[in-house]
Chain A
Amino acid sequence: MKRAFMRRVFFTAALSVSMAAADPASAQDSASELKQAVQALRDQMKKMQSGYEGEIKRLETRLQTLEKKPETTVVQAPSSAAGETSRVDVFSKQSPIQIGLNGNLISGGSSVGNEALGNLQRGHHDPKTNGFSVSNVELFVGGTVDPYFDAQANIALQIDSEGETSIELEEAFFTTRNLPGGLQVKGGQYFTEFGRANTQHPHSWSFVDQPVVLSRLFGADGLRSQGARVSWLTPLPWFSEFTVGAQNAKGETAASFLGEEGEDIGGFELQERGGRNFSDLLWSARWLNGVDLSDTVSANLGFSGAVGPNATGSNTNTYLLGMDLYMKWQPTRSQGGFPFVAWQSEIMGRKYEALDSGDPDHKNLHDWGFYTQALWGFKPGWVAGLRLEHADGRGNNADDPFRDSRWRVSPNLTWHPTEFSKVRLQYNRDWAQHLAEKSADTVWLQLEYSLGSHFAHTF
Chain B
Amino acid sequence: MKSFAFLATVLAVLAFGKPATALNVVTTTTDLAAIARAVGGEHVDVTSLTRGTRDPHYAEAKPSMIRSVFRADVLLLVGAELEIGWLPAALQAGRNAKVLPGGPGYLDLSETVPLLDVQTGAITRAMGDVHAAGNPHYWLDPLRGISMAKAVAARFARLDPAHASEYEMASKAFESAVIERMKTWRAALAPLKGKKVLQYHKSFVYLGEAFRMTLAGEVEPLPGIAPSARHLQRLIARIKAEKIGVLIMEPYYDRRGAEFLRDKTGITVVVLPHSVGASPEIKTYFDLFDGIVAAFRKAKVI
* A75 B102 Cβ-Cβ under 8 A: yes
Quick check: A459 and B113 within 8 Å, CB to CB? no
A336 CA / B226 CA spacing, docked (Å):
11
Interface presence of B225 (CB below 8 A): yes
Q: CB distance A298 to B64 under 8 Å?
A: yes
Chain B 177-199 interface 0/1 with A at a Cβ cutoff of 8 Å (1 = within): 00100111011101100000000
Bound CA span A75–B112, Å = 14
Does B169 lie at the interface of the complex (its beta carbon under 8 Å from any beta carbon of A)? no
A73 on interface, CB distance cutoff 8 Å? yes
The answer to whether B151 and A71 have CB atoms under 8 Å apart is yes
A233 x B55 contact (CB < 8 A)? no
Give A422 Cβ to nearest chain B Cβ, in Å.
14
Answer whether A75 and B151 are a contact pair too, CB < 8 Å, given A4-B191, A183-B95, A298-B63: no
Which residues of the other chain, A, contact B53 by a CB distance below 8 angstroms?
A: 332-334
Q: Which of B67, B111, B184, B252 contacts A239 (CB 8 A)?
A: B67
Verify B95–A179 contact, CB threshold 8 A.
yes
Report whether A335 and B108 are in contact in the complex, using a CB–CB cutoff of 8 Å: no
CA A454 to CA B144, docked complex, whole Å: 27
Partner of A333, one of B15, B94, B188, B251: B251
Kindly identify which residue among B55, B63, B98 contacts A335, using a CB–CB cutoff of 8 Å. B55
Check: A40 CB closer than 8 A to any chain B CB: no
Contact across chains for A63 and B179 when beta carbons are under 8 A apart: yes
Asked if residues B252 and A78 are in contact (CB atoms below 8 Å), the reply is no
B163 CB within 8 Å of chain A: no
Nearest A residue (CB) for B66: A239
Given A1-B302, A336-B55, A418-B225: A457 in contact with B113 (beta carbons within 8 A): no
Cα distance, A71 to B59, chains bound together (Å): 28
Q: Are A458 and B61 in contact (CB under 8 A)?
A: yes
Distance in Å from the Cβ of B109 to the closest Cβ of chain A? 9
Assess the A292–B143 pair: CB atoms within 8 A: no
From A66, A89, A333, A418, B143 is in contact (CB under 8 Å) with: A66
B289 → A minimal CB distance (Å): 13
Within 8 A of A (CB), among B192-227: 224-226
- B16 in contact with A93 (CB, 8 Å): no
Closest residue on chain B to residue A150 by CB atoms: B92
Within 8 A of B (CB), among A264-315: 288-292, 295, 298, 300
Contacts of A5 in B (CB 8 A): 187, 190-191
A45 contacts chain B at the CB level, 8 A cutoff: no
What's the least CB distance linking A47 to chain B, in Å?
A: 13
- Known contacts A1-B187, A333-B54; is A75 also within 8 Å of B106 by CB? yes
**Chain A residues numbered 80-126 whose CB sits less than 8 Å from any CB in chain B:** 81, 85-94
* A290-B64, A298-B64 as given contacts; A66 in contact with B114, CB under 8 Å: yes
> Looking at the complex, which one of B84, B103, B225, B302 makes contact with A456 (CB distance below 8 Å)?
B84
Whether the Cβ atoms of A295 and B51 lie closer than 8 Å is: yes
Give the residue name and chain of the B residue nearest to A86 (CB).
B102
Over the window 223-241 of chain A, the binary record of Cβ atoms lying under 8 Å from chain B Cβ atoms (1 yes, 0 no) is: 0000000000101111100
Q: Identify A70's interface contact among B101, B112, B252, CB under 8 A.
A: B112
Mask: chain B, 133-154; 1 = CB below 8 Å from A; 0 = not: 1000000000110110011001
Whether the Cβ atoms of A457 and B89 lie closer than 8 Å is: yes
Interface residues on B, range: 35 or more
Contact A291/B253 with A5-B191, A56-B183, A59-B143 known, Cβ cut-off 8 Å: no
B 47-83 to A, binary, CB cutoff 8 A, 1 in contact else 0: 0000101110111111111110010000000010100
List chain A residues, Cβ under 8 A from B295: none
Contacting pair A459 B62 (CB below 8 A): yes
A147, closest chain B residue (CB): B102
B residues less than 8 Å from A93 (CB atoms): 132-133
Is B2 located at the chain interface by the 8 A CB criterion? no
Q: Kindly state whether residue A380 has any CB partner on chain B within 8 Å.
A: yes
Please tell me which one of the listed residues B63, B106, B154 contacts residue A291 in the complex, with CB atoms under 8 A apart.
Answer: B63
Is there a chain A Cβ closer than 8 Å to B240's Cβ?
no
The docked-state distance in angstroms from the alpha carbon of A457 to that of B143 is 33
| A399 close to B (CB within 8 Å) | no
Question: Which residue of A has the minimal Cβ distance to B251?
Answer: A333
Q: Do A72 and B112 form a contact, CB below 8 Å, given A62-B143, A233-B66?
A: yes
Q: How far apart are B86's CB and chain A's nearest CB, in angstroms?
A: 5
Mask of B5-40 contacts with A, CB within 8 angstroms, 1/0 = 000000000111100000000000000000000000
Asked if B253 and A335 sit within 8 Å, CB to CB, the answer is yes
CB-CB under 8 A for A177 and B84, given A59-B143, A73-B111, A93-B133: no
CB-based nearest B residue for A48: B190
Q: Which of B14, B15, B190, B225 has the most CB of A within 10 A?
A: B190
Verify B63–A88 contact, CB threshold 8 A: no
Per-residue 0/1 for A156-173: is the Cβ within 8 Å of any B Cβ (1 yes, 0 no)?
000000000000000000
7 contacts between A and B (CB under 8 A): A1-B188, A88-B102, A178-B100, A238-B63, A337-B58, A454-B85, A458-B61
Shortest 4 CB-CB contacts between residues of A and residues of B: A290-B63, A178-B97, A86-B102, A239-B63
